[in-house]
């Protein structure tokens, strides 16, 4: 009888999950495994929403954002009694290996599940916030950056035609990664993130000088982590006398056609995950650091907060320092 393996998506969905599902089914069959889908994250594990997966299930999904098998948060999975039900549902089918696409919360849950049930898992970091410690890259980030780039480019068209400041808020619960990379790569005037403290008033003299020389619009990228987009917009109106608008990009950042890089990373992550489980790795997370894949423990990824790469931060500090603002 074939050995069995399942995959689930947990927490916030990202673009790149569907390519991962496609690779999962194809590579599982290539390794002579029977693949299964668990629908709606840990909720589906508890509710026995587990189905055998076939090539037909993944046909045509590589171009689609989101996840075909659904994702969810699950309060019940926090309780041992429900985790026991979830384990029975897997064991009754002979499934003893699980791939989990999610964030550090999901991995923390799986670590408990493994300790209690012996069901092995491999975590694939998947969040657009790119805020998981131990990995430079999380699945979905590249597509999200592409969506943000397009949005900023389009907002710039209207900002420049209409003499306005635009304060564009990006996602990133506690982490300024999306805002920082987007601000650098879209030529924004201002980038406000928790990791680089800046007093907006320090730009005043420079921006006034730029306006007097003809500048007629500004783009400020602000991370949602700071929760001050409205305040910054008001600053442009009051201190610089330029009409201002806030544009909160919101959930468009989560969706969209997966980028080439996210598709490729999905394929690579899943391949490593299946190989690792077959080699006997029982409870690890695949990380991608300095262009190499490594396997880390849950403590390494979940106990410490993520820090943006120092070189990128230095670039941001230098680029957006008010003292470097060109008069």
**Residue among 37 and 107 whose Cβ is closer to ligand ADP:** 107
Give the separation between CA 188 and CA 249, rounded to whole angstroms: 16
Least distance in angstroms from the C-beta of 249 to ligand ADP = 19
* Residue nearest ligand ADP (C-beta atom): 105
Q: Which is nearer to ligand ADP, 68 or 112 (CB)?
A: 112
Report in angstroms how near the CB of residue 258 gets to ligand ADP at its nearest.
Answer: 18
Closest to ligand ADP by CB, 14 or 58 = 14
Query: Which residues does 50 contact at the CB level (< 8 Å), separation at least 6?
Result: 6, 36, 37, 38, 39, 44, 89, 90, 93, 95
Q: Tell me how far apart the alpha carbons of residues 319 and 86 are, in angstroms, rounded to a whole number.
A: 50
Cα–Cα distance for residue pair 174/127, rounded to 1 Å: 13
Nearer to ligand ADP, 21 or 221 (CB): 21
Q: Closer to ligand ADP at the Cβ: 137 or 218?
A: 137
Q: How far is the CB of 111 from ligand ADP (least distance, A)?
A: 8
Instruction: In whole angstroms, give the CA distance from residue 19 to residue 15.
Output: 8
Q: How far apart are CA 86 and CA 38, in angstroms?
A: 11
Compute the chain's Rg from CA coordinates.
Answer: 22
d(CA 288, CA 10): 20
What is the contact surface with ligand ADP in residues (CB under 6 A)? 10-12, 42, 73-74, 77-78, 102-106, 108-109, 112, 127
Considering the complex, state which of residue 40 and residue 244 has its C-beta at the smaller distance from ligand ADP: 40
Q: How open is the CA angle 77-81-86, to the nearest 5 degrees?
A: 60
| Given the residues 13, 129, 131, 262, the one annotated as active site | 129
Least Å from the CB of residue 103 to ligand ADP: 3
Residue closer to ligand ADP (CB basis): 44 or 109: 109
Q: How far apart are CA 128 and CA 228, in angstroms?
A: 21
Shortest Å distance, C-beta 92 to ligand ADP: 21
Q: Active site includes 129? A: yes
CB of 176 to ligand ADP, least distance (A): 18
Least Å distance, CB 307 to ligand ADP, is: 17
Q: Which of 17, 172, 216, 162 is nearest to 100 (CA)?
A: 17
- The catalytic site residues sit at 129
């Amino acid at each position: 009888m074939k050995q069995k393996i399942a995959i689930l998506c947990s927490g916030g969905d990202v673009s790149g999950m569907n390519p991962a599902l496609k690779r999962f089914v194809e590579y599982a069959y290539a390794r002579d495994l029977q693949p299964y889908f668990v629908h709606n994250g840990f909720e589906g594990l508890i509710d026995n929403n587990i189905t055998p997966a076939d090539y037909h299930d993944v046909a045509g999904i590589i171009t689609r954002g989101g996840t075909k098998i659904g994702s969810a948060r699950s309060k019940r999975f926090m309780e041992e009694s429900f985790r026991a039900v979830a384990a029975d549902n897997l064991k009754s089918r002979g499934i003893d290996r699980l791939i989990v696409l999610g964030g550090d919360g999901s991995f923390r849950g799986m670590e408990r599940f493994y300790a209690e049930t012996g069901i092995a898992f491999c975590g694939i970091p998947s969040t657009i916030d790119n805020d998981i410690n131990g990995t430079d890259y999380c699945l979905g980030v590249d597509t999200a950056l592409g969506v943000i780039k397009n949005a900023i480019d389009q907002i710039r068209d209207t900002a420049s035609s209409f003499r306005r400041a635009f304060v564009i808020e990006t996602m990133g619960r506690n982490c300024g990664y999306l805002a920082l990379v987007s601000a650098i790569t879209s030529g924004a005037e201002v980038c406000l993130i928790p990791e680089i403290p800046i007093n907006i008033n320090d730009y005043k003299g420079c921006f006034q000088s730029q306006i007097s020389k003809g500048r007629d619009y500004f783009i400020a990228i602000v991370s949602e982590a700071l929760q001050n987009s409205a305040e910054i917009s008001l600053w442009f109106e009051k201190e610089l006398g330029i009409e201002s608008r806030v544009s909160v990009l919101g959930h468009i950042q989560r969706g969209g056609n997966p980028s080439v890089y996210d598709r490729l990373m999905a394929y690579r992550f899943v391949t490593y995950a299946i190989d690792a489980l077959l080699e006997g790795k029982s409870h690890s997370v695949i990380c991608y650091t300095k262009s190499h894949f490594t396997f880390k423990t849950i403590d390494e990824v979940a106990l410490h907060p993520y820090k943006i790469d120092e070189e990128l931060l230095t670039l941001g500090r230098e680029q957006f320092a008010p003292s470097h603002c060109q008069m």
